[in-house]
Structure 1
């Protein structure tokens, strides 16, 4: 379980093999805008390759919950400005049909 400080203005659908198979819609936050409230033993991580992005998931039910990632908005990894992307499909009382979905062609970018 987690908390965020605000409703996202957009969510991102990434077409990379990992994200598309999970069906996640990512809302991006700074670390200060995100609070993990689950006990540490209920959170597990998967990192592929060089461990640049850590994908969090619930160790109890397996849902993909959030990622810890550098900022990629310039096309390069900005490790000085980390982001937390939260799977917006897990938000309670949130209508995803009323928010803009931005597609990122992760399948061909990385």
Structure 2
């Protein structure tokens, strides 16, 4: 059964095909200013159920990083980024060799999920302020 998410006004809505088991809190400047807790999934586990034109995009660093938010109510909803998770798995040079910028990963702001208890999830901390 899919889990629904939406911005506050409902202009941006989506569904995910999985139940998040952890939440990620990143302390980079983007995530802390957004106040988001993230869950990650493959693109085929995420479905936008409203037109993409209902969401605005912000790309603070490079065009590959697409962070979406509602231009009406301002809620950060999801991001579509390269899968940077390989950089957490080993040394920098090895990770660069395995990195494929065409492989995407969707980040969901857990706070915008409807009827889902994120308070029950363990929180993993990422030191994005010093790692990026």
Q: Summarize deviations over 1:42-96 as a string: whole Å, max 9, x none.
A: 1110001222311001122110000001111221553242100000001111111
Structure 1 or 2: larger strand share? 1
For the aligned residues, what is the CA RMSD? 1.3
Q: Looking at CA atoms only, which structure, 1 or 2, has the larger radius of gyration?
A: 2
Structure 1 or 2: larger helix share? 2
TM-score by length of structure 1 reads: 0.92
Moved over 3 A (4+): none
Where do 5+ consecutive residues of structure 2 fail to align? Answer: 1-12, 88-95
TM-score by length of structure 2 reads: 0.78
CA distance in 1, matches of 2:85, 2:27: 16
- CA spacing shift, 1:78–1:12, aligned 2, 3 Å: farther
Q: What number of residue pairs does the alignment pair up?
A: 110
Where do 5+ consecutive residues of structure 1 fail to align? Answer: none
User: Could you tell me which of 11, 33, 53 is aligned with 2:65?
Assistant: 53
CA distance in 1, matches of 2:44, 2:33: 29
1:4 matched to 2:16: yes
